[in-house]
């Protein structure tokens, strides 16, 4: 299998750095091919701007979406964007590894998403009509591929439990799981989360690696999160609201999971 690891941490000797090395080694030892996008090491340009296209659509006005569409369609994207897209197309599974910073991914990784997820590649894909609102949320360019988040958090596990002060981890990660991964088509696996990082020591590190190894060994058999498919009949179109008889007792994020 082919695995792409998109990784964001500025310090190679960090906990994340060790876990990245473990992950690469473990997957390679099992015979898998691995590519790594180490965003800090690559000095990845995080800000989406007019320089992302080799030739602008309209030099007097930068439109982030339309310029992206024009560049993608005409082979005018900057080389770093096109290379990352080719890695995504190559991979069977993509792991996004990062420390939880302000309840989300580090800015450098968010910038990777904003720039690599071009119009025509990750969004604006497929037909829009009365029964099919584009290829997205389980359909699209990356359909058939799997994705998993590997996240470290300073907060304790109970802080992220159903009634914990930080909010449930499934809710915090929902915008990434659903809006960034499921949107362009990925099947999204449950995340691998390490809590209370300041307490990690050689003993707990060994346990973490054992559990992580098990997750890596089962990347291809783990059941994905059961997000509802946009065009699968659960939603009205074009309102894209759940039909009244679908999980009527639920609202918010939970309603979009079967």
| 103 versus 220: smaller Cβ distance to ligand FAD | 103
Question: Least distance from C-beta 116 to ligand FAD, angstroms?
Answer: 23
| 99 versus 185: smaller Cβ distance to ligand FAD | 99
Question: Least distance from C-beta 235 to ligand FAD, angstroms?
Answer: 31
**Positions that interact with ligand FAD (CB under 6 A):** 9, 14-16, 18, 99-103, 152-155, 197-198, 200-202, 205
Of 127, 122, 169, the closest CA to residue 149 belongs to 169
Question: Least distance from C-beta 201 to ligand FAD, angstroms?
Answer: 6
DSSP 92: S
Question: Least distance from C-beta 203 to ligand FAD, angstroms?
Answer: 9
| 35 versus 197: smaller Cβ distance to ligand FAD | 197
Whether the upstream peptide bond of residue 238 has omega within 30° of 0, thus cis, is: yes
Rounded CA-CA distance 18/130 in Å is: 50
| Cβ count within 10 A of residue 140 | 21
| 105 versus 116: smaller Cβ distance to ligand FAD | 105
The pair of three-digit structure tokens given for residue 182, joined into one six-digit string: 């499921």
Rounded CA-CA distance 158/49 in Å is: 40
| 200 versus 242: smaller Cβ distance to ligand FAD | 200
Question: Least distance from C-beta 251 to ligand FAD, angstroms?
Answer: 25
Rounded CA-CA distance 30/38 in Å is: 21
Question: Least distance from C-beta 98 to ligand FAD, angstroms?
Answer: 8
| 150 versus 181: smaller Cβ distance to ligand FAD | 150
| 62 versus 156: smaller Cβ distance to ligand FAD | 156
| Cβ count within 10 A of residue 162 | 10
Helix count (H) and strand count (E) of the chain? 6, 6
Question: Least distance from C-beta 15 to ligand FAD, angstroms?
Answer: 3
Q: Are strands 93-99 and 33-38 parallel, antiparallel or unpaired?
A: unpaired
Per-residue 3-state assignment (H helix, E strand, C coil) for 2-64: EEEEEECCCCCCCHHHHHHHHHHHHHHHCCCEEEEEECCCCCCCCCCCHHHECCCCCCCCCCH
């Amino acid at each position: 299998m082919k695995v792409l690891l998109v990784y964001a941490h500025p310090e190679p000797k960090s906990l994340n750095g060790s876990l990245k090395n473990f992950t690469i080694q473990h997957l390679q030892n099992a015979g898998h091919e691995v590519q790594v996008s180490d965003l800090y090491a690559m000095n990845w340009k995080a800000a989406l701007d007019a320089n992302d296209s080799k030739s602008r659509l309209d030099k007097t006005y930068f439109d982030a979406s339309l310029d992206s569409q024009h560049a993608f369609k005409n082979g005018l994207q900057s080389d770093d964007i096109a290379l990352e897209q080719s890695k995504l197309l190559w991979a069977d599974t993509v792991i996004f590894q990062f420390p939880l910073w302000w309840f989300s991914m580090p800015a450098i990784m968010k910038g990777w998403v904003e720039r690599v997820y071009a119009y025509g590649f990750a969004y604006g894909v497929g037909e829009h009509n009365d029964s099919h609102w584009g290829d997205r949320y389980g359909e699209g360019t990356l359909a058939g591929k799997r994705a998993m988040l590997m996240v470290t958090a300073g907060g304790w596990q109970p802080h992220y439990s159903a009634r914990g002060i930080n909010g449930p981890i499934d809710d915090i990660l929902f915008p990434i799981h659903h809006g960034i991964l499921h949107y362009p088509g990925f099947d999204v696996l449950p995340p691998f989360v390490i809590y209370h990082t300041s307490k990690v020591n050689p003993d707990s590190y060994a346990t973490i690696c054992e559990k992580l190894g098990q997750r890596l060994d089962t990347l291809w058999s783990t059941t994905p999160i059961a997000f509802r498919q946009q065009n699968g009949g659960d939603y009205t179109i074009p309102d894209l609201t759940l039909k009244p008889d679908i999980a009527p007792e639920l609202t918010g994020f939970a309603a979009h999971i079967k």
